[in-house]
Chain A
């Protein structure tokens, strides 16, 4: 099965999944309405998007220099900086750190980069006890699923699903333990995860931003799980990617002002933590080691391409919340770490065009994603570029031939008009005496779901030409009549 046929099958599954559809139906009233309110309350929201875009563009245009500055300052602060060209390299670095620390239990806070390189699976294969501590991510882990949204990984689950999986996976639960409300379920998860936090040997987090001027990482969560993940074990690993660097704190604040507002509609996330190195001599708490892994994994290729603006992304998820396609099929159908418009723009670069270029087809180019993107990524243009690259591939031969044939036709106006006339008459004939076609012998994808209105018959160009012709005749007749009158009046 090709990635594309798999996609079609997953779309059908998603559309037929009634609980998923109910969960997705809440997105407009939740994230979308939240963002709208947050945007209205911050007068400078729109100008800030342009500031944010410029900050990210500046950082990307000087990426090598800011990464070097970051590395130098982070090292001075006592962090150990590692560079990883591929996901595999990054996984190996993390495994080495965990082995050197003699770790058994590893806590993780949510990190899309770790999803991208399948770090949890790699650590589990090496017999480490790995626990996701973001509640949504924990649910996804114990249900053996993948996240379906970059900021709300369990958005596809209903509360009943959560109670079910707790009863199945948490062996200690008494049969009469009540799990009826979100509060009761969260209390259960809190208890389990608290033990893990306290017993973990290594804590792995991502980073939302890296600040070059101080060698700091900025990590935001609402649950506070990243703080417990990084503060309690003796080793803290920050797994992040090279595109996350910003020059200074002055550059980080505008981005942070937009991040939560765009994501959940909160003005600020509950916990925004700036980490600069490991525990200091007089610190009673905090890790003894702080490792920072800078991953490339396809990002330098994006940097070199016209699609560079994709690297501005600050992972807020607004594009998927506002995407009519995402809101119809949810995240899993994309079969990609990053779903929605940003996934269609980013995944072909990270996972390979063979695997993911078809995602760029799944857009009406309605442009709502671009309109809400806090860093103004031209998502539609980027998707269009992926389509362009895909069209050149040998596997697109059929599409290419059809497109070229049509395009050649469109470059011959007379033939094009003639074909339009034939098409109008044929469709009219198919409709018979009715005004709609209920089944097309070709293009049945259209009539499987909706009727095709019958054309009025005759093209506009034909009718206009007739009208102009008549008008010209009339004008000529008028002129000769006038001439005749003129000659009559002359004696």
Chain B
């Protein structure tokens, strides 16, 4: 007998009790659960009281507050056009320049990022594609932000290669304030709406920088991935 059959039959035997519902009833329960997942959400502590405009503001405030607690930087810009300059300023102030005086940033083929007026800013050199070992700064676009814990939701693909968020020491994530939602549940819905219902290879929920407490119990940033995470928040 294959291991698969052996394990499945052991499970069935283990679950077989006089009080157990019939096979059909169990199969129906499983089909029903997957077709209509239970809503364990919303939670009072995460929910915002006002469903309209004020709620969105509260969400943004909460999202920023959570990022601050995590030690992540927030760069707010008034318009899309300001993003390249804000990013360049942040890089100049926080990340050491290379010898040529140009900071090289790496990003994927994300159409939104590509359409930004990069030429208006000097001091940044843009490299395309997945991250390489020598990269210092990765720039990605997030699909959603979760106010609950200051979490960014990114998906894999050529637009925003996963490695951008893990190899460079600084990860800069661009996010529209309108994409900030209260919960993981809603962020997943945004994600599935963006991908046409298809699960990407990876969904990366990023909450602050890479960290470890494994040496002497002290939390230190930059265990393997980014030492620094910055979020560029823009509003439409």
List the interface of chain A (C-beta within 8 A of B): 23, 26, 30, 41-44, 48, 51, 55, 58, 61-69, 77, 82-85, 89, 133-136, 139, 152-155, 157-159, 162, 182-183, 185-186, 190, 193-194, 197-198, 212-214, 216, 222-225, 227-228, 231-232, 242, 247-251, 253-254, 256, 264, 267-280, 282-286, 294, 296, 300-301, 303-304
- Besides A248-B34, A254-B40, 8 new A-B residue pairs in contact (Cβ under 8 A), listed by A number: A44-B44, A62-B26, A186-B215, A193-B224, A272-B207, A276-B199, A283-B161, A300-B13
| CB–CB B40/A224 < 8 A | no
Main secondary structure of the interface of B (DSSP, over half): loop
Spot the interface stretch: B49-57, B85-93, B180-188.
B180-188
| Other-chain residue from A61, A83, A256, A278 in contact with B15 (beta carbon distance below 8 A) | A61
| CB–CB A224/B37 < 8 A | no
Q: Which of B14-60 contact A (CB under 8 A)?
A: 14-15, 26-27, 29-30, 33-34, 37-41, 43-45
With A268-B207, A283-B201 known as contacts, the answer to whether A251 contacts B26 (CB < 8 A) is no
With A284-B161, A300-B10, A304-B14 known as contacts, the answer to whether A222 contacts B166 (CB < 8 A) is no
Q: Does B83 contact A (CB under 8 A)?
A: no
Q: B residues within 8 A CB of A278?
A: 201
| CB–CB B30/A223 < 8 A | no
Q: Does B210 contact A (CB under 8 A)?
A: yes
Q: Does B211 contact A (CB under 8 A)?
A: yes
A-B contact pairs, 13 of them (CB 8 A): A30-B213, A42-B43, A43-B45, A186-B212, A222-B213, A225-B224, A227-B204, A231-B202, A249-B37, A272-B151, A284-B129, A286-B156, A303-B11
CB 8 Å contact bits of B179-206 with A (1 = contact, 0 = none):
0000111001000000000011111111
List the interface of chain B (C-beta within 8 A of A): 2-4, 6-8, 10-15, 26-27, 29-30, 33-34, 37-41, 43-45, 66, 108, 129-131, 133, 148-149, 151, 156-158, 161-163, 165-167, 183-185, 188, 199-218, 220, 222-226
Q: Which residue of B lies closest to A275 (CB)?
A: B202
Q: Which residue of A lies closest to B14 (CB)?
A: A304
| Other-chain residue from A42, A85, A154, A282 in contact with B7 (beta carbon distance below 8 A) | A85
Q: Which residue of A lies closest to B159 (CB)?
A: A282
| CB–CB A197/B224 < 8 A | yes
| CB–CB B133/A194 < 8 A | yes
| CB–CB B15/A63 < 8 A | yes
| CB–CB A250/B38 < 8 A | yes
| CB–CB B212/A280 < 8 A | no
| Other-chain residue from A68, A186, A216 in contact with B222 (beta carbon distance below 8 A) | A186
- Rounded to whole Å, the gap between the CB of B215 and the closest CB of chain A is 4
| CB–CB B26/A65 < 8 A | yes
